Each structure stands twice: as structure tokens, then as C-alpha cells.
A and B are shown apart, each in its own frame.
Chain A
Amino acid sequence: MDLHLWAKAGFITTPDGNSIHVWGLTDQAGGPARVPAPLLILRQGEAVTVNLTNLLPEPVSLLFPGQQGVEALPEGGAWEPVRPQHEGGLLTSLAQAAPPGGSVSYRFTPQRPGTFLYESGSNPPVQVPMGLAGAVVIRPADYDPVSNRTAYGAGTGTEYDREYLLMTGEIDPDMHLAVQEGRPVDFAAYRPRYWTLNGRCAPDTMLPDDVAVLPSQPYGAMIMAEPGERVLIRYVGGSTANHPLHPHGNHARLVAVDGHLLRNGTADLSHKRFTVLVGAGQTYDSLFDWTGLGYTPSNPIPTVIPNVRNLAVGDAGWTMWSGTAYLGQKGDLPIGVVSYNEMGEYHFMLHSHEEPQLTNWGEFPGGLMTMLAIFPPGSLGPEVGRLGHGGGM
């Protein structure tokens, strides 16, 4: 596979109306910078070449942590192992870089399936928070999107019905402004004001993939499934902080960390957690199936539709209620509300337990939070919970 990525500047938006200067990657010639960088979906055993063109004002490189035998093709050079670059004995870049206006290529053959990152290895304390990082999903060699949908291959206990990827991030607007204005970054004063999932702050996290109003943030972060389905969530610590992520309503089973299956021979080391500390630069794969409080299709949970006066009524997308499971049932809509739980789905929150981070510049709700929605049986199409949206890579 031959991929092209362009590193360039752009802007993302936050729900409070802010516009943040970012450095991102795009896989579309002339397309907007994207945060996080395009998701790379690769296959175990199939070689990939990533060609990077740098449209930023300083050298940019890419690291592929956890991949073996990565080679680089610097401008005017020959293929060579990827390695740290030095000048006068001092490190200048953790990998061969593309100079401003220039290019560099990397190639490797994924050896193992799993969830990984890729990120800039040049001036990373600036470039990674600015947005030059993305996720890599490596499909097992025997993967089949219809008949053998697993995270780590047949026989690994990682079958799933729908999969999602949530990449954490933090934004210190002052850092981004300093970069925009070409000033040095004052790391001692670093203080994030926004926290993101897939580059978006809540409530934008709950919007679909590829919405027109977020051209630089094409990845949604809404988890959707039906009762009894097995859901794979790939958590990726994309920026520089650790985040304790906590899905309500489900105790998820951690099955792999950093792309390594939690299994030694016959010993199954997978374990349940209701909060996963997603560390910076680390990945965690978790599986759950929602069975609910005694829910079966023939015996839906008894439903009491709430009185409208007890609902928080807001704009479309914010009027939600999940006091009791009421799958498939809904009452009358308040005047002016387009919908609340559109199909009578059951919403749970999924959020960081560092709750000051559920804010957009100090305003709750926002930040590092999304929803996990269980829909009535038969209401979700097979296209829901498939990676590979967000620009079509």
C-alpha cells in the first residue's frame, strides 16, 4: 500500500466558538489539515509506504512506535533504517525528517495486529500537541470484514460486531497561538483549556463522521450498538497526558495494551475495568457487550416515559434522557425539540474521570466526553461502527 500524507497548518473549531490553529496531516492533496491525523488501517504482513510532504515551516518526521524494521527514504538519499538524527552530538529529530517544503518516505511491513500510534518525531513537545499524531489499526492477517471480524485474529477471543476508536487530546490555546504567531512556546505555562476525543470537544464528539461543519475534525466519537452486540473500543492516548476513561453502564474487558494481546499461551490475562487509565502514547483495546438490566428482545425493560418537565430540554442533540431503559419506546416531543433519543435509544456517558476536563474553557458540559448509545434491535445498519470513515482512507 502506498499512502500520501501532507503536513500542513489549519484550524479546528471548538463548541464554544473558538478557532484553534493546528498542525495536522491530510491524505487528500489540497485537503484541510486533520486532527487527529488520518487513521491508517493496515494489514498484518502487507507492506506499506507512507510518503510525507511537509508544508509546515519546520522539519517534520513520523515515528511508528511498535512497528519493526521501519525504513526511511530522506530527500536525495537511499532507503535506510529509521534512526535518530544528530547535529554536533545533539539530537535534532527522532527520525529522518522532511524539511519545510520537502518530503520523506517511510516503509515497513506490519508484523503484528493491534492498535498503535504514529506521530511526529521532530520537535515533538510542540508538534504532537499541535496535532501531528494519529492512530494505526493493523488488521490480523486472517481478518475478513464479514466472516472473521477480530482485533487479533481467529482464536484470540477478540471477535466483535462493531468497533470504535477514541483518541484523547488536550489543547492549550496559548501554545497554539504562540505557534501561529511564530513565538517560542512557554512550556512552563502550559495549561490545556480543551480536552478532546478524536480531535473534538463534547458535544461535537457526538456528531457523525465527516460533518461539513468540522472539515478538519472528521472523526466522530459516538459509540453505537444494539443489545447483545460485542463492541470493541480502541483507546489511544494521542497527546501528552494520561486520561482515566470511564464508560457508564458497562464493565469493559481489557484484551490488549499497546497492540499486545493480554494472553500468555493458555493464560488469559484480560481483565475487567470500569475505568481505563489511557496513558500518553499508549493504546488499550476493550470489549464489552451490553446486556442491560435483564433486557431481552421479548422482554423489554418496563418503561416509564418521563414527564417533559423533568427533562433538560435543549437544542437538537442535547435533549437526552436515560433514566430507565426504554429501548424502542418514546413519548411525545416537547414543542420545538426535533428529537431526543431519536430511536428511543438508551444513552450512557463515556468520559474522563478527571472531571474538570469535561469542560470547554471552564464551561461544563464539554471536553473529554461522549455518549454510548444502545439502540433498539434491528435499528442500526451494518455501516455503523466500522472504522474507515473520516475522509475515506
Chain B
Amino acid sequence: MAAVIARDLWATSSNASFPGPEGAVSVPVWGYSPTPGQCQVPGPLLEAMQGDTLQVTLHNTLPEPVSLIWPGQAVRPVPVKDTNGRFVSFHRHALPGGTFIYTVNATRPGTFRYESGSNPAVQVQMGLSGPLIVRPAGFSPSDPAQRTAYGPDTGSDFDAELLLVLGEVDSRLHTAAASGSAVDLRAFAPDWWVVGGRAYPDTVAPDAPGGVQPLSSALTVQAGRRLLIRCINSGFQTHALYLGGLAGRVIAEDGYPLMSPTLDATYSRHTLTVAPGQSFDIILTSPDPGEFYLYDRELLHCVNGERFPGGMMTRLTFAV
């Protein structure tokens, strides 16, 4: 039953917290929020069923134009130029204080993201991006036969799911952009690497509903259960997702399932390089209980400052 899903997103500013050598460090962020209050990084999860229409109203409270682009969706972008013909946004934007309504037909299931198409080198780094999950037609979380990422016979049935949104934070860029100073993009140099907007050990802290960084990336599932990992790289660097020493089965790339009636092109990996903007869906399981750290095998991203452990790491527990 196709539905119209109306959502409101406010582009706002807030402060996020990252682990430093002497306690938490506060860093200004921009993000999308389901309320006019503080923003969230990453942006709130948007969910739709295949066939639904998403109607997202963007309210821009930031001092520059902000937009939403929908990589992988059948949306025809309408670029915006200023009066001098200079390119401003990849797609229609909301001016400061203004709004814009985006209509997205969710035609195929998958793991996607949305992000700002305005001044994206700054705005996406500041936090203006979020995950979008489109459920296959007939999806039912309570019916194991219909609890799939891509529909029946795609090898995508799962018992539990975990969303890993990878990214980086360059605190100097954030401070400059938030204060309205000039941003020197040549000097882009992240000082935190994040999963779900948090750096380890914050990644394994519980969900914090209503907070700026609400998303935990830690999960406990029963040994032998099929875990679906939806990994999205929302950052600007590649990251090599190490699956804790376990073998994961890649079942989809960029929201395209690899199994069809005529060909099973799924494949197994221990580690997977995920480029900026890519998404991978991976089925992971462990026959035995145990704790497994998932982290960036580009190991220099697993630090906070001068110290390991930190950064882009999280923990998966297969319980008895």
C-alpha cells in the first residue's frame, strides 16, 4: 500500500562532543533535525517502503542556502545558480529562513543517504547528511520470510540490522564555518574519525534519543543469527571496514542487490574499502559467541589524538 510519508527536517546548528585527551571536546556542527531544536549527526534516519512517496519539507535556519540531494533516487536535480551564473546548489535549495519541499518516489529498496547539495565540501563535512532506507515491498519486521533488505530470493533476509555511517570531523573547519570565517578547504585534515557521528569509545555508548549524536553503533545479537550491516560512507575519505576477523557476505552495493534469479553475484570479504558516497549491505554472522571490534583497517583512523583506541571503531557482540 503506497503511502505519502511527510517529514520535516530543520537544518540547524549545535555542538557535538568528541573524546579528547582531557575529556570531551565540543565541536560546532550543522545537521538536519526532526524538530526546530538541536540538530543530529548523522541526520535522522528516513525510512520508506518501496512505492512510497517521501515528501520532505526542509526548513533552513542556517546562514547560507541548504538543499537536499538524493543519490540513487529517481529525482531529477534542478541546479541553482546565482544572478552572476555562479553555481550554488546541485538541486533546489531553501534560502536562510526559508523552506523547500522535496518529493522523492522510493522506487527501489536499498541503503542510501541524503545530503546537502549546497556548498557540499563544507556543509556535508559539517554534518548535513543522513541515511535513507527503503524497505522492499511486502517488508514485515515480524515475519522472518519478509524481513529482508531487498525482497525474497536476494539472500538479504536478516534477524537484526546495524547501520554504520562512516565519516570524519575536521574541527578547525567546523569552528571556522560555524563562526562565519573563511574556510580553507586546502587545509582539510580530519582530527576525528567517526561511526554514526561518534568516535570510539562513544560509539559503543547506548543510543541517546534527542541528543546531537543519538546513534550508537554497538550491537548485541545472538550467535548464529544473521546480522545485516548497512554501511554508508558519508565522509570524504575511503575507509576499509574490517569485520572483526569474521567473513561477511556482500549482498548489495549502492542499493543494488547482487543476487538475481539468474545470477548469485554476492561475495565474501573480511575487510572492504568503502569509498565516499558508497554503500554496502553485508550479511554477517558468527556461529560462536564473542566480542568483535569493527574498525577502519586504515588504522591511522582508529585514534583520538595520539592514542589508540579511538576514532572509527565499534563493537559487535554475539551473545550465547
Contact = CB atoms under 8 A, between A and B. Distances in A.
A54 interface: no
Given A241-B298, A282-B240, A91 B273 contact: no
B309 A188 contact: no
B82 interface: no
Contacts of B303: 125, 187
For chain A, give the interface size range.
Answer: 35 or more
B300 A187 contact: yes
Given A187-B305, A280-B273, 7 more contacts: A81-B290, A240-B299, A242-B273, A279-B271, A280-B298, A281-B242, A281-B270
Contacts of A280: 240, 271, 273, 297-299
Given A91-B309, A260-B269, A265-B264, A81 B201 contact: no
Contacts of B298: 240-242, 280
Chain A interface helix/strand/loop/mixed? loop
Interface in A49-95: 63-67, 69-70, 81, 83-84, 89-91, 94
A325 to B, nearest CB: 36
Contact of B288 (A81, A242, A277, A279): A81
B299 A125 contact: yes
Contacts of B270: 65-66, 116, 258-259, 281-282
Nearest to A84: B291
A64 B302 contact: no
Contacts of A65: 242, 245, 270-271
A89 B218 CA distance: 14
In the complex, which of the residues B264, B297, B302 has the most CB atoms of chain A within 10 Å of its own CB atom? B297
Contact of B306 (A81, A187, A237, A281): A187
A69 B189 CA distance: 39
A257 interface: yes
A242 B237 CA distance: 11
B267 A262 contact: yes
Given A84-B293, A264-B264, A124 B240 contact: no
B308 interface: yes
Interface in B261-307: 263-273, 288, 290-293, 297-300, 302-303, 305-306
Nearest to B200: A91
Contacts of A89: 201
B247 interface: yes
A366 to B, nearest CB: 23
A129 interface: yes
B313 interface: yes
Contacts of B245: 63-67, 70
In the complex, which of the residues A63, A65, A237 has the most CB atoms of chain B within 10 Å of its own CB atom? A65
Interface in B217-260: 238, 240, 242, 245, 247
B27 to A, nearest CB: 15
Nearest to B289: A81
Interface string A91-118: 1001000000000000000000000100
A279 B273 contact: yes
Contact of A124 (B201, B291, B308): B308
Interface of A: 63-67, 69-70, 81, 83-84, 89-91, 94, 116, 123-126, 128-129, 184-188, 190, 237, 240-242, 257-260, 262, 264-265, 267, 269, 277, 279-282
Contacts of B161: none
10 contacts: A89-B201, A185-B306, A188-B191, A259-B270, A260-B247, A262-B267, A267-B263, A280-B299, A281-B240, A282-B272
A282 B273 contact: yes
In the complex, which of the residues A63, A242, A279 has the most CB atoms of chain B within 10 Å of its own CB atom? A279
In the complex, which of the residues B242, B268, B305 has the most CB atoms of chain A within 10 Å of its own CB atom? B268
Given A188-B189, A267-B263, A281 B291 contact: no
B265 A123 contact: no
Contacts of B272: 279, 282
B191 A264 contact: no
Nearest to B291: A84
Contacts of B242: 65, 281
Contacts of B201: 89-91
Contacts of A70: 245
Given A240-B299, A260-B268, A262-B267, A125 B308 contact: yes
A33 to B, nearest CB: 19
Nearest to A86: B291
Nearest to B306: A184
Nearest to B248: A258
A240 B309 contact: no
A389 B22 CA distance: 49
Given A66-B247, A128-B299, A260 B271 contact: no
Nearest to A126: B308
Nearest 4 pairs between A and B by C-beta? Answer: A281-B297, A279-B273, A260-B268, A281-B271
A280 B269 CA distance: 12
Contacts of A81: 288, 290
